[in-house]
Structure 1
Amino acid sequence: MDMTKQRPAQRHSAGFTLIELLVVVAIIGVLSSIAYPSYVDHVRRTRRVAAEGCLSALAQQLERFYTTNMTYVGFAGAPNCDPKITSDFYNIPAPTLTARAYTVTAAPKGPQAGDSCGTLTLDQAGTKSPSTAGCW
């Protein structure tokens, strides 16, 4: 064998081919199209739970007032909630009061308006609406 012949140098490529880059971009696109809607739904449910907590806290204030005064009429409290929830995502008006009954509501607004549960209500008997599974 003739050892004087040299082999041509092998070329080593540095970097990615266009095909490899397109495959990675496609995979990222598919993953994000699945993950983003799930993330948005989770954020919406988290805000709804915060509004439910607001309504429950307001209901407790009403019950304390009733225990002291034997009527709901005259209650002038406000929900002790995260101001971000009440200013940006839910409208929580003053409760509807009678001597022996109340109804508190939280109506979604802004980015929360697309919530499938809609307006949340709670009354003195503990009745929550909507009664759809997952809303309360």
Structure 2
Amino acid sequence: MVRQHGFTLIELMIVVAIIGILAAIAYPSYTQYVIKSNRVDVQAEMTRIASLMQRHKVINSTYIKKNGQPLTLSDLNVSSDYPSTSKKLYELNLANVTADSWILTATPYGTQVGNGNIVLNYEGHKCWTKGSTCTVSATSNWD
């Protein structure tokens, strides 16, 4: 009697089922990781923008341009779309710019929708919430 080599159909079906179960467990974790990673990336960009704003204030003693208009993202050579070179994930908005204050908000877009608004102000106070609004204070944070 000649012995055959290889796998039976049952063995192959078991392997496929195991791979399916592992994928069903791993995929949601992976997507949550990607969403959190994108949020951390935009937070770093917001910190960079805050640095540019502070630099302007140190040089000019105000967040207002010489023509009397408030500073905008385009004045800082920053796109309101983040990231600016690929699929948009956040819309950046610099608002309430006065001589001494400003508020920067990142609103989720595309695959990030539902992940909450991120806010940073001129004092370095920040907040993140999955709700519709968050209030920036000395005790709020991005965690």
Q: How many residues align?
A: 124
Decide whether aligned partners of structure 1 residues 32 and 134 sit closer, same or farther in structure 2, where only a CA change above 3 A counts.
farther
Q: Give the corresponding residue for 1:103.
A: 103
Aligned to 1:56: 47
Identity among equivalent positions (%) equals 33
Change over 3 Å in CA distance of 1:134–1:100 after alignment to 2 = closer
CA distance in 1: counterparts of 2:141 and 2:105, whole angstroms? 17
CA-based RMSD: 2.4
Unaligned runs of 5+ in 2: 66-70, 131-139
Q: Distance in 1 between matches of 2:22 and 2:141?
A: 26
Max Rg structure: 1
2:56 alignment partner in structure 1: 65
Equivalence for 2:91: 91
**Match status 1:47 vs 2:38:** yes
Q: Which residue of structure 1 aligns with residue 5 of structure 2?
A: 14
- Which structure has more helix as a fraction of its residues? 1
Q: What stretches of structure 1 move > 6 A for 4+ residues in a row?
A: 131-134
2:134 aligned residue: none
C-alpha separation between the residues in 2 aligned to 1:63 and 1:112?
28
Distance between the aligned counterparts of 1:26 and 1:134, measured in 2?
43
Cα distance in 1 for residues equivalent to 2:5 and 2:29: 38
1:134 & 1:36 partners in 2: Cα distance? 28
Contact 1:55 1:79 in 2 (8 A): no
The TM-score with structure 2 as length reference comes to 0.76
Is the Cα–Cα contact under 8 Å of residues 106 and 120 in structure 1 kept in the other structure? yes
Task: Determine if the alignment matches structure 1 residue 23 to structure 2 residue 24.
Answer: no
The one-letter amino acid paired with 1:103 is I
Whole-angstrom CA distance in 1 between matches of 2:84 and 2:38:
12
Which of 1 and 2 has higher RCO (CA within 8 Å, sep 6+)? 1
- The one-letter code of the counterpart of 2:96 is T
> Equivalent of 1:128, from 126, 129, 132?
126
